[in-house]
Amino acid sequence: METMARHFAKGASKEESVDIVCKRAGDATLSDLLHCDGLAIGSPEYFGTMAGMIKDFFDRTYNVAREKTIGLSYVVFVCAGNDGRGAITQIERIAAGYKWEKVQPPLRITGPPSKQDLAKIEELGHTLAAGVEFGIF
């Protein structure tokens, strides 16, 4: 996931006027969420579910952020040992509770990411950043 997150950030940083903050879920705060214009949620799939720290982040921020982040643009990328659908479903279900707007289909990678997969992740990062920058999202 760390490699995938770095590639996502690399793609997002192609939009020079967009500030990129890349944090592990356990280090991300309510303030981070309240001050972002777009959000990428990357998670490994564990036992058919998202990582526990992603769920922890949602649990820590939901009550305060749900009314303040309505319409927040988000994307999801998952690295799966199984098929990743369970993790994606859970993340999208929670994002719907926040009333966030999914701006691209989730990116699901099974097994170690290939060079092509990492290129897709960079493209996803650039797409989110450009969409936020130009007011599309």
Tens digit of each residue's pLDDT, the chain (137 residues): 999 999 999 999 999 999 999 999 999 999 999 999 999 999 999 999 999 999 999 999 999 999 999 999 999 999 998 899 999 999 999 999 999 999 999 999 999 999 999 999 999 999 999 999 999 98
Enter the tokens of residue 122. Answer: 């960079």
The domain tally of the chain equals 1
How many Å apart are CA 2 and CA 22, to the nearest integer? 10
Residue range(s) defining the domain that contains residue 58:
2-133
The answer to whether 79 and 113 have CB atoms below 8 angstroms apart is yes
Runs of H (alpha helix) within the chain? 2-12, 30-34, 52-65, 85-98, 115-133
Enter the tokens of residue 7. Answer: 């590639």
Q: What is the CATH number of the domain that holds 75?
A: 3.40.50.360
Q: Is 78 helix (H, G, I), strand (E, B) or coil?
A: strand
